[in-house]
Amino acid sequence: MQAILALEDGRIFRGESHGAGGERAGEVVFNTSLTGYQEIFTDPSYAGQIVVLTNPQIGNYGTNAADAEAQKPYIEGLVTREFSPISSNWRSEQVADEYLERHGVPVVSEIDTRALVRHLRTYGAMRGVISTNGSNDEALVAKAKALRKMDGCDLASVVSTKETYEWTREHAGNAVPGLMPDAPVDDLHVVAYDYGIKHNILRMLTREAMRVTVVPAQTSAEDVLALKPDGIFLSNGPGDPEPLHYAQENIRKLAGKKPIFGICLGHQIIGLALGGKSYKLKFGHHGGNHPVQQTGTGKIEITAHNHNFAIDPDSLKQSEVDLTHVDLNDNTLEGLRHRSLPLFSVQYHPEASPGPHDSHYLFRDFRRMMEESKR
């Protein structure tokens, strides 16, 4: 069956259909990771987006429950050069084609993904439609143009949990890899705001002997403090951080009361809560191979990224905020730390999954910050 990807500027790509049939729309972005396609499918930060994978072979090692970062895929659609109808890996539980079909995600394969990525790099991320319905090109382009832009969208409250729940090491099995051998079991309590949280973030917090209570995105600061946390975590998530006024106000109320650590969207919310301004990147950062430099030590970390917006460093008060990390590809701000309050954040994903492990130390830094705050 033929599938079509139509972009809002009129560019059309034709290929083969896999996964689910029908029609799905979203903002088209590309990801440069070489592995970890199932983790990408299930990252809630991709809500509202069609993902182009630059690795030419996708689906060849299948899918399994352990590699999912959420209960279901969040991508609107997938675009690949080659998509394998079979899997060849001892961990595979279901071929990727059946997995995406079961969850209603369409796939377009056998297209020139290099040409598509070059187009997006030149003209920026844009709205698009995937269709297997035989619709004419003009109608699909019109649908793409009519799609709501990502700017101004609060998607965090859409993907967030609706109920508070506990996450302990039992969620990842009794033996958590890398658990600190001398640390008491779950001796610190963290309340994590779910703006689209990934399972591996929860695993990493658990690995540092933390008991985690996950709360909905719009939970009030007062309700969070009532849970008596030792620290507060702000998760990754999709969409524009600017319309999340409820989250920004909560952080202003919580800052200084408990140690706070934010990742990705959580970092952006912190930046806005501290008086900064956000802006949208031309085609975003999506991949597991981005070099980030620590401004204090000069050390370079290879990091995993998945974000479309960033905080303008010039909008932050340098007397209050230390800019701790910078992206070596485009000099965007990748990390900050408050000079007087126990609060820090990074734009990239230290938990990776997929991606390198260079930045796992940040979870230990969070633990140390909570320990110092309790003294």
Q: What is the CATH number of the domain that holds 206?
A: 3.40.50.880
- Is position 151 within any domain? no
Confirm whether 264 is a catalytic residue. Answer: yes
Q: Determine if the pTM surpasses 0.85.
A: yes
Q: What CA–CA distance (Å, rounded) separates 34 from 229? A: 38
Same domain flag for 61 and 138: yes
Same domain flag for 352 and 203: yes
Confirm whether 305 is a catalytic residue. Answer: no
Same domain flag for 139 and 160: no
- Greatest CA separation for the chain: 67
Q: What value does the mean pLDDT take over residues 289-307?
A: 97
Same domain flag for 106 and 179: no
Same domain flag for 114 and 220: no
Q: What CA–CA distance (Å, rounded) separates 50 from 28? A: 5
- Dihedral angle of Cα 40, 45, 51, 54, to the nearest 10 degrees: -50
77: domain CATH number?
3.50.30.20
Same domain flag for 245 and 117: no
pLDDT of residue 154: 96
Among residues 18, 285, 290, 349, which one is catalytic? 349
pLDDT-derived band at 176, boundaries 50, 70, 90: very low
| Domain region containing 276 | 156-374
Residues 10-23 have pLDDT tens digits of: 999 999 999 999 99
Res. 44: pLDDT tops 50:
yes
Same domain flag for 98 and 178: no
Among residues 8, 69, 264, 307, which one is catalytic? 264
pLDDT-derived band at 168, boundaries 50, 70, 90: confident
